[in-house]
Amino acid sequence: MLNRKIVVAVLVTVLVGWVSVININAGEAEKININTATAEKLTQLKGIGPSHAAKVIEYREKYGPFKTPEDLMQVPGIGQKTLEKNKELISVEEPKSN
């Protein structure tokens, strides 16, 4: 009986440790720079499929880099809900010039 209690305590401790690691890694999700991301990368955002990704690229080529995540709503078909779902995943770093 004592051995079972020890095994259960060890298992619980291990599970708590794994959950902590998973939570830490989830908080470190790589941000997507909407000023430089490829269409493939942009489709990793929630609610952004290939056609919206193409519109994002077309918009930034025509008007220049995005200055804020909210500027993404200037792209036809992307609204407040899409922005809110992705705000923590978006960055707007200036593209590096060569």
CATH number, residue 57: 1.10.150.280
Same domain for 56 and 20? no
Q: How far apart are CA 71 and CA 65, in angstroms?
A: 9
Half-sphere exposure of 30 (CA within 13 A, CB side): 7
Query: Which pLDDT belongs to residue 5?
Result: 72
* pTM exceeding 0.75: no
Q: What is the mean pLDDT of the chain?
A: 84
Query: Which domain does 18 fall in, by range?
Result: 1-30
Query: Which pLDDT belongs to residue 31?
Result: 94
Which residues in the chain show pLDDT less than 50? none
Query: Which pLDDT belongs to residue 6?
Result: 74
Query: Which pLDDT belongs to residue 11?
Result: 63
